[in-house]
Amino acid sequence: MKLTLGFSPCPNDTFIFDALIHHKIDTEGLTFEVSYDDVETLNQKALRGELDITKLSFHAFAYVANQYALLDAGSALGFGVGPLLISKNHFEGAADPQLQAPNNTLKIGIPGKYTTANFLLGIAYPHLQNKQELVFSAIESALLNEEIDLGLIIHENRFTYQDKGLTKIVDLGDYWEKLTGCAIPLGGIVINRNLDREIQLKVNRLIRKSVEFAFAHPKSGIDFIRQHAQAMEESVMYKHIELYVNKYSINLGEEGRKAVDTLFKLAQERGIIPAIQENLYI
């Protein structure tokens, strides 16, 4: 049986899925047709219901929970892994009054409307509404060219922005952790609810095995990871993996599910996402 599978070319995802798609583990009769896309493209594909299994932002998941269920394996959660709000110009840190001023005209580059990063920005700074959607890798350049005033960065850019003379205004992951005490849920792996329950459970089991294989053989997928990471230095690739792949990627567990539930509860209370009727999990 062949299933369509979408994930990003970022090192954390290629690290997780290498063993699965290259049959380094027994895939129990399943094969996968893979799409490699940035997270916002994956979010949009999920909104259109295009894939059987996909990585997506937890923010986007709120809008497709009627069609997709969250797997316990493959998620990106953690402490100290949140998006950063950065700038080229001087702001007086997180408490700068410009950031909280109603009707301000500051232009913010965001990595996508449905990203969890944008969701957190909305909670922390509800008055920052003048947003421009950019591919995440283009945000630093837009700041340097003064096309935007602030940039919301994710992924490997958190390791490179300082080298380009850019300054952190606030770590939204730190903001979330202080607000809730939970790990920050960034992205998860979801599966179409129309697939047989047996298939859903099998896919969850296989992704868990793929993550466990990657941890046991961390160099096994290096060529595959490097191929999709393009010009990224190997040291940055492994920092990226260490940051986003952890125990929650093997199994959300009670702590991981609590973090996800907290995210959706808070978002619903603030009117950021609609109420969700379905059980989120497989």
Among all residues, which ones are annotated catalytic? Answer: 155
* Amino acid at the residue 58: F
Please identify which residue in the block is written with the tokens 């580059």: 109
Query: Which tokens in the block code for residue 77?
Result: 């959660």
Closest CA relative to residue 152, chosen from 180, 188, 123: 123
Which helix (H) or strand (E) segment is 184 a member of? strand 184-192
User: 30-34 — which CB contacts under 8 Å span 24+ positions?
Assistant: 30/1, 30/2, 30/3, 30/199, 30/202, 30/203, 30/206, 31/1, 31/2, 31/3, 32/2, 32/3, 32/4, 32/5, 33/2, 33/3, 33/4, 33/5, 34/5, 34/6, 34/7
Q: Which two tokens stand for residue 32?
A: 């996968």
Binding-site residue positions for substrate: 55-57, 116-117
